[in-house]
Amino acid sequence: MLVYDTIGIQQILPHRYPFLMVDTIVEMERFKRIVAIKNVTINEAHFAGHFPGKPVMPGVLIIESMAQAGGLLLLQEIPDRENKLLYFVAIDEARFRRPVVPGDQLRIEIDVLRFRTNSFCKLAGKALVDGEIAAEAKLMCKTVNREDA
């Protein structure tokens, strides 16, 4: 079931092209879990140099897609979200299991491990391609005021 399309995502996340790394949200359970889709296409700028003739999505962008999916879930629960940002503050236990290439569809699964609306949040993320784990990590973020950022 489609929960948010790209238009709905942009109403919550501050990210825009070329740095919006989530295309749709297909599942969401408030305060607990979100599942997002990222369609990986050859026309994305990073593929021109990573790596010419053998394009591979950079691992840091896979992690960023996880962070954005988690941000979508958490920002909905933060009062006055228009004046807030979620800053990425730590990554633990990051593992990359297989390359992600143009034509793949990333299924990003995020589970909330800890959440406080005006403090730190901890998430467990997985990015899968065809049911196979491509990457996984634990992510921490912090709520900040946009004016202070």
Residues 58-90: pLDDT tens digits? Answer: 999 999 999 999 999 998 888 888 888 889 999
Residue 71 has what pLDDT? 93
Q: Which of 8, 26, 44, 50 is catalytic?
A: 50
Confidence of residue 149 (pLDDT cuts 50, 70, 90): low
Confidence of residue 1 (pLDDT cuts 50, 70, 90): low
In a domain, 1, yes or no: no
Contacts 24+ apart (CB under 8 A), 23-30: 25/69, 25/72, 26/1, 26/2, 27/1, 27/3, 28/3, 28/4, 28/73, 30/73, 30/76, 30/77
Where in the sequence is the domain holding 141, given as residue range(s)?
6-148
Does the annotation count 15 as an active-site position? Answer: no
Percent of the chain with pLDDT over 70: 98
Q: How far apart are the first and last CA of the chain?
A: 35
Going by C-alpha positions, the residue among 41, 33, 53, 5 that lies closest to residue 126 is 33
Q: Quick check: 2 pLDDT over 80? A: no
Residue 15 has what pLDDT? 93
Q: How many structural domains is the chain composed of?
A: 1
Burial code of 17-48, b = ≥16 C-beta within 10 A, e = fewer?
eeebbbbbbeebeeeeebbbbbebeeebeebe
In a domain, 112, yes or no: yes
Q: What is the CATH classification number for the domain harbouring 103?
A: 3.10.129.10
